[in-house]
Structure 1
Amino acid sequence: MKFNKHIENIKTYEGGKPIELVVREFGIDPKDVVKLASNENPNGCSLKVQDAVKNIVANMALYPDDSMMKLKAGLSRRFGMDDENIIIGSGSDQVIELAVYAKTNKESKILTNGVTFAMYEVYAKHVGCEIIKTTSTDTHDLEQFYTLYKEHKPEIIFLCTPNNPTGDASDAKEIFEFISKIDSDTLVIVDGAYMEYAKAKDASKAIEPKELIDKFDNVLYLGTFSKAYGLGGMRVGYGIARLDIIKQLYKLRPPFNITTLSLEAASVALEDEEFVKNSIEMNFNEMKRYKNFANEQKIDIIESYTNFVTLCFEKPKNSSKIADALLKRGMIVRDLSGYGMNAIRVTVGKPEQNSKFFELLVEYL
Structure 2
Amino acid sequence: MEFNKVLDNVTIYEAGKPIELVVREYGIDPKDIIKLASNENPYGTSPKVTAKIKEIAQNMFVYPDDSMYELKEALSNKFNVESSNVIIGSGSDQILEFCVHAKCDKDSKILMSKTTFAMYEIYGKQTGSTIIKTVDDEHNLEQFSAEYKKHGADIIFLCLPNNPLGECLDKEDVYEFLKTVDSNTLVVVDGAYQEYASFKDEKKKIDAKDLISTFPNCIYLGTFSKAYALGGMRVGYGIAQEDIIKTLYKLRAPFNITTLTLAAAIEALKDEDFVNTCIAKNFDEMTRYEDYAKSKGFDYIPSYTNFITIKFGNKFSSKEVAQELLQRGIIVRDLTGYGVNAIRITIGSNEQNTKVFKILDEVLEKLK
- Tell me the TM-score normalized by structure 2: 0.98
- Whether 1:17 and 2:17 are equivalent positions in the alignment is yes
Moved over 3 A (4+): none
Paired position in structure 1 for 2:63: 63
DSSP 3-state at the match of 1:234: coil
Query: Which residue type is aligned with residue 7 of structure 1?
Result: L
Paired position in structure 2 for 1:92: 92
- CA displacement, residues 4-62 of structure 1 (integer Å, 9 cap, x when unaligned): 11111211111110001101100001111000000000001100000001111111111
DSSP 3-state at the match of 1:110: strand
Q: CA deviation at 1:360?
A: 1.2
Q: CA deviation at 1:362?
A: 1.1
Paired position in structure 2 for 1:281: 280
| Distance in 1 separating the partners of 2:313 and 2:184 | 43
- CA displacement, residues 322-345 of structure 1 (integer Å, 9 cap, x when unaligned): 000000000000000000000000
| Distance in 2 separating the partners of 1:180 and 1:170 | 16
Q: CA deviation at 1:80?
A: 0.1
- Whether 1:359 and 2:358 are equivalent positions in the alignment is yes
| Distance in 2 separating the partners of 1:48 and 1:15 | 29
Q: CA deviation at 1:63?
A: 0.7
| Distance in 2 separating the partners of 1:347 and 1:25 | 22
Query: Which residue type is aligned with residue 119 of structure 1?
Result: M
DSSP 3-state at the match of 1:162: coil
1:13-162 aligned at under 5 Å gives the runs 13-137=13-137, 139-162=138-161
Percent sequence identity is 59
| Distance in 1 separating the partners of 2:61 and 2:35 | 34
| Distance in 2 separating the partners of 1:83 and 1:203 | 26
| Distance in 2 separating the partners of 1:148 and 1:301 | 27
| Distance in 2 separating the partners of 1:142 and 1:314 | 25
| Distance in 2 separating the partners of 1:165 and 1:349 | 16
Query: Which residue type is aligned with residue 298 of structure 2?
Result: I
Report the more deviating stretch, 355-364 or 107-116.
355-364
Paired position in structure 1 for 2:225: 226
Paired position in structure 2 for 1:198: 197
- Tell me the TM-score normalized by structure 1: 0.99
Query: Which residue type is aligned with residue 70 of structure 1?
Result: E
- CA displacement, residues 204-256 of structure 1 (integer Å, 9 cap, x when unaligned): 00000001011111001000000000000000000000001001000010000
- CA displacement, residues 269-291 of structure 1 (integer Å, 9 cap, x when unaligned): 01101100100000000001011
Q: CA deviation at 1:145?
A: 0.1
Query: Which residue type is aligned with residue 18 of structure 2?
Result: P
| Distance in 2 separating the partners of 1:297 and 1:279 | 28
Report the more deviating stretch, 32-41 or 5-14.
5-14
| Distance in 2 separating the partners of 1:270 and 1:176 | 28
DSSP 3-state at the match of 1:158: strand
1:233-312 aligned at under 5 Å gives the runs 233-312=232-311
DSSP 3-state at the match of 2:9: coil
| Distance in 2 separating the partners of 1:80 and 1:286 | 32
DSSP 3-state at the match of 1:222: strand
| Distance in 1 separating the partners of 2:112 and 2:50 | 37
What stretches of structure 2 of length at least 5 have no aligned partner? none
| Distance in 1 separating the partners of 2:361 and 2:11 | 33
| Distance in 2 separating the partners of 1:9 and 1:350 | 39
Query: Which residue type is aligned with residue 127 of structure 2?
Result: V
Q: CA deviation at 1:316?
A: 4.4
Name the Cα RMSD after superposition. Answer: 0.6
Paired position in structure 1 for 2:341: 342
| Distance in 2 separating the partners of 1:243 and 1:274 | 31
Report the more deviating stretch, 295-304 or 3-12.
3-12
1:166-177 aligned at under 5 Å gives the runs 166-177=165-176
Query: Which residue type is aligned with residue 47 of structure 1?
Result: P
Number of aligned residue pairs: 364
